Amino acid sequence: MFVSNTVHDQVRDRLPFAFEDLGEQQVKNIARPVRVYRVRATLTHPDANAPGSPLSRIAGEGSPPLALPDKPSIAVLPFANMSGDPEQEYFADGMVEEIITALSRIRWLFVIARNSSFTYKGQVVDVKQVGRELGVRYVLEGSVRKAGNRVRITGQLIDAETGAHLWADRFDGSLEDVFELQDQVAISVAGVIEPTLQAAETARSAGRPTDDLTAYDLYLRAFPMFLAASRQIPEALRLLERAIERDPHYGPALAWAALCCHRLVNDGRSEDPAADARKGTDFARRALEVDGDNPGVLANAAQALAYFAEDISAMISLVDRALALNPSFARGWYISGLLRLWAGRPDMAIEHLETSLRLSPRARVGPAFVAIGAAHLVSRRFDEAVPKLLLAIQEDPSAPAPYRLLAACYAQMGKMDEARAVVEWLRAISPDLLPSFRSFLNPEHRELLLSGLRLAAGETA
């Protein structure tokens, strides 16, 4: 991990990291050179060796392997794009996403989330190392070749402990059969991992998100934009709305569009917050109507509706149902933690957020760290909140939420110079300095955030 001098100055005495000064470096999108530090975990923290802890992930090869779960576990690595066309990369990625989703519906199987699996994209990997770093017994890798209207998927399943090849196969079909091909791969893998499984469970639960391949294509393009950075969400929403125009019953697209509306309002990027709130609520309700048995739809719609003031207990129940359907759903655990934070249960929120990180140990940690930082903040554990929020800012400097929380945290600590500096960073990316924090339903928590941010912003007015 590499950080700027600003982050280095804030965290060097708070975290058990060694910092290697790399001097002035030219950084993309910044005119002047920036002093850069390489970060290495020293593993002196008493919890540094805990399986799944952030420090163990940052430590890399020097950290101990993650403990295997108490049930069969698998990571699906990015499939190689064999089409000879770099523009088809997203199609291969989408294929893997659908295979992960199909496998995740198998309740006895522990499936690593896409965000962690895809950190190996473009790398020559040692499956034994992957198994150690992700804490899984099996690794699935393969390739996708798309030529005209034909698709070929190849896959091989490897025992990550021994490196032994357990299974390999090839699946050919037309684009119209692409979802059936994905299910065939998932069913074959499940049958090899656990011969006693009734593979029909996968076939029964594998719903068709859409039959419109253009809508599916638009969805695949939008999905990574939402996850990448706050500033890309308007374009992600535009693509999702086009997909919904083609297929008004496309549940996952409706649910992600609802989340885009939520983020536009929350991040201060909406030109008409009231209209976007109505639109986001409509998208979420429609998603639940057409695809209410899909764990991803349940969780994403619940997050959007909770933010737009639906009953928080009912939305938590939706997320609980999603996790009952798919206990390996990392994003579901993240949303469960977020909603419990909003409901005023910060300690339970942290527990669920850390479960999300264990299921996706190499994913972008920013969103989870924002929520964990907020949970520590409202619990008045300010010293524990600061490093989480600083790392979240480092991962996505375009997202306003961690700046707001960090400014409030510093102000509550009496560190007004730091609070004022964070507010100046915030002003550069968002005009919305003082949001309502309406999603925080505990009045004491909401007032703690608001009073801290008012104090920080008022000092610079």
Q: What is the DSSP string of 274-292?
A: HHHHHHHHHHHHHHHHHHT
Sign of CA pseudo-dihedral 373, 375, 377, 382: negative
Identify the CA nearest to 95 among candidates 156, 169, 155, 166.
Answer: 155
Question: In the prediction, which pLDDT does 189 show?
Answer: 67
Mean pLDDT value across residues 207-225: 79
418: how many CB neighbours lie within 10 A of its CB? Answer: 19
pTM higher than 0.75: no
Coil, strand, or helix at residue 211? Answer: coil
Let me know whether 291 and 248 are in one domain. Answer: yes
Print burial letters for 237-252: b (CB count within 10 Å at least 16), e (below 16). bebbbbbbebbebbbb
pLDDT single digits (tens) 301-348:
999 999 998 899 999 999 999 998 888 888 999 999 999 999 999 999
Q: What confidence tier does 36 reach under pLDDT thresholds 50, 70, 90?
A: low
Q: Examine residue 437 and state whether it is found in any structural domain, yes or no.
A: yes
351: pLDDT strictly greater than 80: yes
Identify the CA nearest to 181 among candidates 73, 113, 88, 79.
Answer: 79
Q: Examine residue 164 and state whether it is found in any structural domain, yes or no.
A: yes
Q: Examine residue 333 and state whether it is found in any structural domain, yes or no.
A: no
Mean pLDDT value across residues 237-261: 95
Let me know whether 80 and 193 are in one domain. Answer: yes
Q: How far is CA 174 from CA 149, 185, 229, in A?
A: 6, 15, 34
277: pLDDT strictly greater than 70: yes
Coil, strand, or helix at residue 270? Answer: coil
Q: Which carries the bigger pLDDT value, residue 2 or residue 127?
A: 127
167: pLDDT strictly greater than 90: no
Let me know whether 250 and 274 are in one domain. Answer: yes
Burial (CB count within 10 angstroms: exposed 0-12, middle 13-18, buried 19+), residue 192:
middle
pLDDT single digits (tens) 73-107:
889 999 888 877 777 787 788 878 878 887 887 77
Coil, strand, or helix at residue 174? Answer: strand
Q: How far is CA 167 from CA 52, 158, 170, in A?
A: 29, 7, 11
Let me know whether 191 and 280 are in one domain. Answer: no
- Cβ(363)–Cβ(113) below 8 Å: yes
Q: Examine residue 335 and state whether it is found in any structural domain, yes or no.
A: no
224: pLDDT strictly greater than 80: yes
Let me know whether 238 and 125 are in one domain. Answer: no
Number of domains in the chain: 4
Let me know whether 19 and 35 are in one domain. Answer: yes
Coil, strand, or helix at residue 217? Answer: helix
C-alpha gyration radius of the chain: 22
Let me know whether 373 and 454 are in one domain. Answer: yes
What's the rounded Cα separation, in Å, for the pair 319 and 299? 5
pLDDT single digits (tens) 387-412:
999 999 988 888 899 999 999 999 99
What's the rounded Cα separation, in Å, for the pair 235 and 387? 31
Percentage of the chain lying above the pLDDT 90 cut? 38
- Mean of the per-residue pLDDT values of the chain: 81
Q: Examine residue 194 and state whether it is found in any structural domain, yes or no.
A: yes
What's the rounded Cα separation, in Å, for the pair 79 and 146? 12
Coil, strand, or helix at residue 148? Answer: coil
Q: Examine residue 336 and state whether it is found in any structural domain, yes or no.
A: no
Q: Which carries the bigger pLDDT value, residue 198 or residue 31?
A: 31
Look at residues 160, 181, 205 and tell me which one is the last residue of a structural domain.
205
**How far is it between the farthest Cα atoms of the chain?**
67
Please report how the helices 366-378 and 346-359 are oriented relative to each other, as an axis angle in degrees rounded to 10: 160
Domain that holds residue 146: 73-205
Q: Which carries the bigger pLDDT value, residue 191 or residue 346?
A: 346
What CATH number is attached to the domain comprising 430? 1.25.40.10
Q: What is the DSSP string of 374-417?
A: HHHHHTT-HHHHHHHHHHHHHH-TT-HHHHHHHHHHHHHHT-HH
Let me know whether 79 and 201 are in one domain. Answer: yes
Let me know whether 165 and 219 are in one domain. Answer: no
Let me know whether 11 and 107 are in one domain. Answer: no
- Cβ(190)–Cβ(106) below 8 Å: yes
Look at residues 39, 62, 85 and tell me which one is the last residue of a structural domain.
62
What's the rounded Cα separation, in Å, for the pair 40 and 264? 35
The alpha helices in 105-232, defined as continuous H runs, are 114-117, 127-134, 178-193, 200-205, 213-228
Let me know whether 252 and 239 are in one domain. Answer: yes
Let me know whether 426 and 379 are in one domain. Answer: yes
Look at residues 276, 305, 327 and tell me which one is the last residue of a structural domain.
327
Q: Examine residue 334 and state whether it is found in any structural domain, yes or no.
A: no
Question: In the prediction, which pLDDT does 106 show?
Answer: 74
Identify the CA nearest to 350 among candidates 360, 358, 340.
Answer: 340
Identify residue 335 by its one-letter amino acid code: I
What CATH number is attached to the domain comprising 191? 3.40.50.10610
pLDDT single digits (tens) 169-187:
887 878 777 777 777 776 6
Q: Examine residue 428 and state whether it is found in any structural domain, yes or no.
A: yes
